Structure 1
Amino acid sequence: MSLGPLMIGLSGTSLEDREREWLASPLVGGVILFARNFSGRRQLERLVEEIQAIRSPPLLVGVDQEGGRVQRFGRPFSRLPPARAFGRLYDEHPSMAERSTQTVAWLMAAELRAVGVDLSFAPVVDLDSGVADVIGDRALHASHEVVSRLALRVNAGLRDAGMVATAKHFPTHAGARSDSHNALAVDHRDHEALCDDLVPYRRLINAGLHSIMVGHVIFPELDPLPASLSPWWIETQLRGELRYSGAVISDDMGMAGASVAGGLVERVRKSLDAGCDLVLVCNELDQIPALLAKLDGYVNPSGQLRLMRLRGADSPSWDELRASSAWQEARAVLDVMN
């Protein structure tokens, strides 16, 4: 069975019977985990094993483990600094910042791979414009050049740990004051004014980026729809202008920023029609049965191939990782950052 176009949330720390039924559907391609799904490392390992035992090939398992205020798994996972810490270090010691960024990215990914998690949706490549509070210290820097350099280091660190990077939130959330989680987010800039925001994507795509998350921001000077629902942004700009050939993942379709398309089913269908390969449905769990029924028969063969490339590579066990000199050296770097 191939991977389907939905990545869904779960309610707790183990699978419910209804969730097992959902995950067996060919429309589901993965699971996104949150703090509500985590009570400890061994519990998490069991949950991931449960998820991956349902299907062959196994479903993808993802999480937002950026660091700072967006880190879903706590101890014994390493506590990671916000992305802005690396940008500030760059202002004082550029070469040290680049090395530290790659090392800490490796550490984050290596710990996740040790418990079977395929993806951490990082890095955030929105510029630190000071406009979007929801981004804030999740951004690496205000300069597109510095963001590009550090994001490439994140990409390299994740790759070394057996994980692909997911750059977000395409094309940018940096110029929208409203938080797309709970309101329509609008950026009134024209295409020329967005050139700097797109530079990190160009650099990462040229480096072989496998995954991009599209945000729900509306750019009314360019298209009336949020980017996550827009064929112009996904097909014309991302696939065409930027020549991107990897997987396109939507941000959570339960967010208010996507509400212009109607209810959840309409939002998901619109996002898929616009060119997304994988659509996130994180919290509206009671609507999953209706969504599966309405999308019955949907197939995107090209998208399925792109999603297969997101699977994490083989990795050491948790105990093997913690005993390694690489992990200990990375923790030493992290201690300096913290």
Structure 2
Amino acid sequence: MLLIDIKDKELSQEEIEILGHPLISGLILFSRNFYDKAQLAALIKSIRQRVKKPLLITVDQEGGRVQRFREGFTKLPAMQAFQTLAKHTQESTALAQQAGWLMAAEMFALDIDLSFAPVLDLGHHCKAIGDRSFGESPESILPVAEAFIDGMREMGMATTGKHFPGHGHVLADSHLETPFDDRPKEAIFAHDILPFKQLITKGKLSAIMPAHVIYTQCDSQPASGSEYWLKNVLRTQLNFNGVIFSDDLGMKGAGFMGDFVQRSEKAIHAGCDLLLLCNEPEGVVQVLDGLKYQPTKAQTERHISLMKRKNVSWQELEASTRYQHAQQRLTALQNKWLEWKTQHC
């Protein structure tokens, strides 16, 4: 059920034992685990060889300020750049598709299964979201977000829409506190939820990550721990059959749900299939000792569905004309984006 982090650039014996625990499904990597490409490849190889079970290895490699691996990788622009800088929709969608494909290809070349992407939140005002959002309205972001998703899917990577039903309206950062969204239910369903709804209908989302936001006019619990949002809306009304990840239960926004065991229990009871718990090693031990749960067959099958489907080497990738072309275009866009930010921010 649990995806955890590791402390450093090498795997310790204690971490090997913890990763082998029956409740651990995988791990998420951060910038602190990365020095250069060779070191990262060696770390992942060590994880695969020394932990005697299949693990889902994940990362946040969205682009912009949320890109854990930089040196030796293509520096991807923030998602806002695609619409802000492109001259027309056709150009923005072409660039977004290249970005999704290239990001997935670089992760697969390192034997990483999944990058948690894309962000489907609307607007740029939220401290936690900002330029991670593709745009302001459902109509404007859908073609670009779908293109990014199509690039990921073409490479064979599962897609994760976040942060359901939409984190963009609140200003507070759920990494630091529990945000409250006081808008009427009708406003959320007519606006924020639409990108998720439309992409679910098209079968484009493999997984969804709910927000640590309390939508006060809908439920008293954060969406990540809400049966209303996950079972009633996501599963029943929207007919979503993929994986539901909790967002990181170590975030301050999850503190509303209690201690780490209580947070995990509430997230599972609400409908989450896999739980993220990061930067809280003592919390991980508490959950492993205190959580009593046996994943269902459906949850196990959903978990397996997220594993990467293609193998590609860096040598093959770098020799590819498509990769070279995409890298050139995205590097140029990133440079333009940095100039734009200097002028407008």
How far did 1:297 drift?
A: 4.7
- Which of 133, 136, 147 does residue 142 from structure 1 map onto? 136
The aligned counterpart of 1:294 is 290
Contact 2:100 2:151 in 1 (8 A): yes
Say whether residues 1:277 and 2:273 are aligned partners: yes
Contact 2:175 2:252 in 1 (8 A): yes
Identity %: 41
The aligned counterpart of 1:72 is 68
Alignment RMSD, CA only? 1.3
Alpha-carbon distance between aligned partners in 2 of 1:110 and 1:56, rounded to the nearest angstrom: 26
Alpha-carbon distance between aligned partners in 2 of 1:41 and 1:49, rounded to the nearest angstrom: 12
- Which of 14, 26, 29 does residue 25 from structure 2 map onto? 29
Alpha-carbon distance between aligned partners in 2 of 1:259 and 1:75, rounded to the nearest angstrom: 34
The aligned counterpart of 1:191 is 185
The aligned counterpart of 2:330 is 334
The aligned counterpart of 1:236 is 232
Contact 1:89 1:96 in 2 (8 A): no
Alpha-carbon distance between aligned partners in 2 of 1:96 and 1:137, rounded to the nearest angstrom: 19
Contact 2:76 2:331 in 1 (8 A): no
Q: Normalising by the residue count of structure 2, what TM-score does the alignment of the two structures yield?
A: 0.93
Alpha-carbon distance between aligned partners in 2 of 1:47 and 1:213, rounded to the nearest angstrom: 27
In the comparison of the two structures, how many residue pairs are matched?
332
What amino acid is the match of 1:39? Answer: Y
- Which of 153, 164, 171 does residue 170 from structure 1 map onto? 164
Alpha-carbon distance between aligned partners in 1 of 2:264 and 2:313, rounded to the nearest angstrom: 36
SS at match of 2:246: strand
1:20-99 to 2 correspondences below 5 Å? 20-55=16-51, 58-90=54-86, 92-99=87-94
The aligned counterpart of 2:10 is 14
What amino acid is the match of 1:302? Answer: A
1:241-268 alpha-carbon deviations (Å, 9 max, x no partner): 1110000001100111111111111101
SS at match of 2:193: helix
The aligned counterpart of 2:199 is 204
Cα 1:205–1:55 change in 2 (3 A) is farther
Say whether residues 1:156 and 2:150 are aligned partners: yes
- Which of 99, 105, 115 does residue 104 from structure 1 map onto? 99
Cα 1:33–1:165 change in 2 (3 A) is same
The aligned counterpart of 1:116 is 111
How far did 1:330 drift?
A: 0.6
Structure 1: which 5+ runs fail to align? none
Alpha-carbon distance between aligned partners in 2 of 1:23 and 1:76, rounded to the nearest angstrom: 28
Q: Normalising by the residue count of structure 1, what TM-score does the alignment of the two structures yield?
A: 0.95
What amino acid is the match of 1:187? Answer: D
SS at match of 1:123: coil
How far did 1:57 drift?
A: 5.1
- Which of 113, 122, 131 does residue 127 from structure 1 map onto? 122
What amino acid is the match of 1:67? Answer: G
Contact 2:75 2:331 in 1 (8 A): no
What amino acid is the match of 2:213? Answer: V
How far did 1:280 drift?
A: 0.4
